[in-house]
Amino acid sequence: MKAFLKLSFFFIVLSIIFSCNKLDDLSNAGPQNSDQEFAIPLFSGKTNITEALDHFGTKDYIKIGTDGLITLNFKGDLSTKKANEIWTLFETIPFALNDSIFALPLSDNTNLDVEKIFYKSGYMSALVQSMATEDVTVKLYVPQLKKNGVQFEQTLNLKYSGILPVLGKIDSASIAGYELSSDNDTVYIKQETYTASGKKINATIYGALTKLEFSYVQGFWGREFVDLQRDTINIDLFENWRQGTVTFVDPTIKINVINSFGVPTRSDIKTMKVFTVKNDILDVQSQVITDGINFNYPKISEVGQTKLTSFSFDNKNSNIVQLLGSGPKALDYDIDFIANPDNNINIKGFMTDSSYFLFQTEVTLPFYGKAIQFDARDTFDLDFSKFTENAASAELKLITENGIPLGADVQCYFLDSQSNVIDSLFTVKKQIVGPAPVDELTGFPKPNVLTKVVTYIPLDAARIAKLINTKKIATKALFTTSNDGLTAVKIAANQDIYIRMGMKVKPKS
């Protein structure tokens, strides 16, 4: 995004003024009389801040309030953490039974104690071996794994044919749709094996639960730090800054979080710094950074819902006004979060296969504040040859009637193709746009009151001879809000500036 002052409507005004460089061929305009002069209207129109911003393709960054106030939003990257990126459960669990029972862990995360899992997919496979010299029946079952109240079990009959060991297998028995009730993050696999004569024995079983995917997990989440991506928001507002001050009355750094994890979480702000155009690095200071921000989360009765948290660092809880008056060019931040920050053992949480934690930071700058001699500069192309080739002398007349509470003292320098200065527009900088007067109670301009400034720009033969080589124009503008920058003003979408320009020209004889 281009800077407000780089894309400021005043630069658009200037570009309009100096791009009116095609003058009709005056050598054929009536009788050739060296005393003859022509009054030529060049243009008449209006513009405003919103049109200027739209002209540069910045509409996605603009918000217009119900009162018309313009706000710019500089957003950081979206940072998302999904369920399987934070807390992982085993996708494959091998087991081996030489006895009647075998305990299986569900996760290697010591901060996660699973109580319940709904599996949307998964399989059990096993190789069974018997050393009995008669037929045997093997029942392999998981008492904690049930579907519609019925436990998961597989039965295998092994026929003795005189050769040992007797082998059999369970091949990819599905556990999709089963609910697992866990005890201390553990599941128990059991066998009941009987010979044909009724003797209870233990078969040797090697197997695994494979391709396990859950749809829902419930249990206790212990205190755990979760890392999010560090990010930088570029604030182009002061890209062309040279000097002067700008103060915003109500800027914010907003943190937006959407959370569908059923676990309490709190911010862990590692870094939040502002980089300025003076190459200073300033810390955002707030007690909230120390205390943390508690993010909303869905309770167990709200599975499938998302909860939104929006928190703003503002002029009441931080030093943001001082920072954003220092010419910021970037906000560097590293904000992580802590799950179950108080390690409350009485809180049972949950996650689903679609649970996520979405995080975004934005810098919000309402156009409400003060500017004093804020220096901004820009350069654009200008071919002056057609403008001057048939003129002996000329005088430009510029009239601005401004309803925006921001004025500009301007100086322009005409440059040749090598960027050497040919001439300046004025002897000293001159105010060509005056700020509209404001109501000090509301900050908005007084209704139906425009500030009018008339500027004359004489171009004698000597200046015209120099300007014919102009290829670029460099502009320097000092911006000041109404009342010499002492009053906070509001710039809105419905505030216009009207511009008229004409020329009185004497053609070459």
Whole-angstrom Cα distance, residue 86 to residue 336? 12
What's residue 375's pLDDT?
Answer: 74
Pairing of strands 136-147, 186-195: antiparallel
DSSP states of 74-87: EE---EEEEHHHHS
Q: What pTM was estimated for this model as a whole?
A: 0.75
- Highest mean pLDDT of the ranges 8-12, 378-382, 426-430: 426-430
Mean pLDDT of the chain: 85
Show the beta-strand stretches assigned E in 296-418: 307-313, 328-339, 349-352, 356-366, 368-372, 374-381, 391-402, 406-415
114 burial (CB, 10 Å; 0-12 / 13-18 / 19+) is: buried
Whole-angstrom Cα distance, residue 476 to residue 379? 9
- Collapsing DSSP to helix, strand or coil, 381 comes out as strand
Whole-angstrom Cα distance, residue 241 to residue 262? 47
Give the type of residue at 95.
F
What's residue 323's pLDDT?
Answer: 87
Q: Is the pLDDT of residue 340 over 70?
A: yes
Mean pLDDT of 262-266: 94
- Collapsing DSSP to helix, strand or coil, 301 comes out as helix
Distance spanning both ends of the chain, measured CA to CA: 49
Q: Is the pLDDT of residue 425 over 80?
A: yes
Q: Which residues pair with 295 in a beta bridge?
A: 265
Per-residue pLDDT of 84-123, as tens digits, reads: 788 878 899 899 998 888 888 877 777 788 889 999 999 9
Among 60-64, 302-306, 443-447, 450-454, whose mean pLDDT is lowest?
60-64
Neighbours of 81 (CB within 10 A): 20
What's residue 9's pLDDT?
Answer: 44
Per domain, the residue ranges of the chain are 9-69+371-507, 84-221, 228-365
Whole-angstrom Cα distance, residue 189 to residue 182? 12
Neighbours of 214 (CB within 10 A): 22
Q: Which residues pair with 152 in a beta bridge?
A: 142
Whole-angstrom Cα distance, residue 441 to residue 438? 9
Q: Which of 357, 288, 346 is nearest to 320 (CA)?
A: 288
> Could you give the count of Cα atoms lying within 13 Å of 167 in the half-sphere of its Cβ?
3
Per-residue pLDDT of 12-51, as tens digits, reads: 455 444 444 443 443 343 333 445 555 677 667 777 777 7
Q: Which residues pair with 255 in a beta bridge?
A: 311, 361
Neighbours of 175 (CB within 10 A): 21
Q: Is 305 left (phi over 0), alpha (psi -120 to 50) or beta?
A: beta
- DSSP H or E run through 496: strand 496-507
Whole-angstrom Cα distance, residue 352 to residue 219? 12
* 90, 208 Cβ separation under 8 angstroms: no
Q: Which of 90, 112, 135, 366 is nearest to 224 (CA)?
A: 112
% of the chain with per-residue pLDDT over 70: 86
Q: Is the pLDDT of residue 127 over 90?
A: yes
Q: Is 211 left (phi over 0), alpha (psi -120 to 50) or beta?
A: left
Beta-carbon contacts of 273 under 8 Å, excluding residues fewer than 6 positions away, are 281, 282, 283, 284, 331, 332, 333
Among 173-187, 267-281, 405-419, 461-475, whose mean pLDDT is lowest?
461-475
More confident residue, 402 or 508: 402
What's residue 164's pLDDT?
Answer: 96
Q: Which fold would CATH assign to domain 84-221?
A: Jelly Rolls (2.60.120)
Give the type of residue at 187.
V
Give percent helix, percent strand, percent coil of the chain, each to the nearest 5.
10, 55, 35
Residues in the chain: 509
Give the type of residue at 110.
T
What's residue 106's pLDDT?
Answer: 78
- Highest mean pLDDT of the ranges 181-185, 330-334, 380-384: 330-334
CA angle 94, 96, 102 (to 5 degrees): 95
Per-residue pLDDT of 225-250, as tens digits, reads: 989 889 999 887 766 666 777 788 88
Neighbours of 37 (CB within 10 A): 14
- Highest mean pLDDT of the ranges 167-181, 237-251, 356-370: 167-181
More confident residue, 253 or 40: 253
What's residue 60's pLDDT?
Answer: 58
| Residue 25 tokens, joined | 């061929």
